[in-house]
Amino acid sequence: MTTYTANPPPTISEKLAIAVIGFFAFLQVYSVQAILPVLMSDLSASEVQAGMAVGATVLAIAIISPFMGMISDAYGRKSLIVASLLALALPTALIGMADSINQLILWRFLQGISIPGITVVLIAYISEEYQDHLPAMMSLYVAATVLGGFAGRFFAGHFDNLIGWQSGYLLMATATVLGAIWVHKTLPASKKFVISENFQAAFATLFAHAKNPHVISSGLLGACVLFSLVGCFSFVNLYLADAPYYLGTSSLANIFAIYLIGMIITPLSARVVVYFGMITTICLAVVVSMIGLLLTLLEPLYVIIIGLTLMSSGVFITQSATISYLTSHVSHGRSLASGLYYMSYYGGGFFGAWACAIAYAQGQWPAVVGLIITVQLVALAVVLGFMKAKRC
Three-state secondary structure string covering the chain:
CCCCCCCCCCCHHHHHHHHHHHHHHHHCCCHHHHHHHHHHHHCCCCHHHHHHHHHHHHHHHHHHHHHHHHHHHHHCCHHHHHHHHHHHHHHHHHHCCCCCHHHHHHHHHHHHHHCHHHHHHHHHHHHHHCHHHHHHHHHHHHHHHHHHHHHHHHHHHHHHHHCCHHHHHHHHHHHHHHHHHHHHHHCCCCCCCCCCCCHHHHHHHHHHHHCCHHHHHHHHHHHHHHHHHHHHHHHHHHHHHCCCCCCCHHHHHHHHHHHHHHHHHHHHHHHHHHHHCHHHHHHHHHHHHHHHHHHCCCCCHHHHHHHHHHHHHHHHHHHHHHHHHHHHHCCCCHHHHHHHHHHHHHHHHHHHHHHHHHHHHHHHHHHHHHHHHHHHHHHHHHHHHHHHHHCC
Is 154 inside a domain boundary? yes
One domain, residues 135 and 206: no
One domain, residues 209 and 354: yes
Boundary residue ending a domain (135, 159, 186): 186
One domain, residues 125 and 219: no
pLDDT at 3: 47
Boundary residue ending a domain (136, 162, 186): 186
One domain, residues 136 and 276: no
pLDDT at 289: 92
- CATH code at 162? 1.20.1250.20
Is 3 inside a domain boundary? no
One domain, residues 76 and 120: yes
One domain, residues 132 and 265: no
Residue 117: give the domain boundaries: 11-186
Is 163 inside a domain boundary? yes
Query: pLDDT tens, 70-120?
Result: 777 767 788 899 999 999 999 999 999 999 999 999 999 999 999 998 988
pLDDT at 213: 79
One domain, residues 171 and 226: no
Is 97 inside a domain boundary? yes
- What is the pTM for the complete model shown? 0.83
Is 222 inside a domain boundary? yes
Is 2 inside a domain boundary? no
Is 1 inside a domain boundary? no
One domain, residues 182 and 41: yes
- The total number of structural domains in the chain stands at 2
Boundary residue ending a domain (120, 155, 186): 186
pLDDT at 197: 60
Query: pLDDT tens, 29-82?
Result: 889 988 999 999 999 999 899 999 999 999 999 999 878 877 777 677 888 999
Residues 136-157 as b or e (16 or more Cβ within 10 Å = b): ebeebbbbbbbbbbbbbbbbbb
pLDDT at 4: 46
Is 252 inside a domain boundary? yes
The Cα 332–Cα 210 span in angstroms is 13
One domain, residues 159 and 228: no
One domain, residues 167 and 234: no
One domain, residues 384 and 333: yes
One domain, residues 265 and 337: yes
pLDDT at 83: 94
| Residue stretches of the chain with pLDDT short of 50 | 1-4, 389-392
